[in-house]
Amino acid sequence: QVQLVESGGGLVQPGGSLRLSCSASGTIFSLATMGWYRQAPGKQRELVARITSGGSTNYADSVKGRFTISRDNAKNTVSLQMNSLKAEDTAVYYCKVTLINEYWGQGTQVTVSS
């Protein structure tokens, strides 16, 4: 029943910005922890940022000061504003919602050119 739809990925120049959005349907997630993960070719999936139901945030050291996660509980959405993008940010980015179960989006490609 739960579906997560991601959008906003694309190709950007180093130093550029992108905003990823994830919209949940089928239920509400006001009490859930929501997050963004990414997976680069040949690498394991890693946590990028997460936000709790109370608004507390955590970021990977590699993105601190550049990325900002936010949520809109009324719309069941979570977003990731990515600034000062680097080539090493290139990956497929996945939205995750966790309450009782874990729900994942299909992923959206972010490519930062050299």
Per-residue pLDDT tens over the stretch 27-82? 667 889 999 999 999 999 999 999 999 999 999 999 999 999 999 988 889 999 99
Residue 75's contacts (CB-CB under 8 Å, 6 or more residues apart) are 23
CA angle 41, 17, 111 (to 5 degrees): 20
pLDDT at position 71: 94
**Of 2 and 87, more confident:** 87
Amino acid at site 71: R
